[in-house]
Amino acid sequence: MGVRLGRRAEASDLAEVHEINVTPFIDVMLVLLIIFMVAAPLATVDLGVDLPASAIEPQPRPDKPVFVTVKPDLSIAVGEDIIAREALTATLDAAAKGNKDERIYLRADKAVSYGDLMEVMNLLRNAGYLKVALVGLDGRS
**pLDDT value of position 141:** 47
Mapping DSSP to helix (H, G, I), strand (E, B) and coil, where does residue 101 land? coil
Rg (CA), the chain: 33
Pick from 2-11, 38-47, 88-97: least confident? 2-11
- Burial of 134 (C-beta count, 10 Å sphere; 0-12/13-18/19+): exposed
Q: Summarize the chain as % helix, strand, coil (round to 5).
A: 30, 15, 55
pTM: 0.55
Residue percentage of the chain with pLDDT more than 90: 15
**CB 68, CB 60: distance < 8 Å:** no
**pLDDT value of position 27:** 93
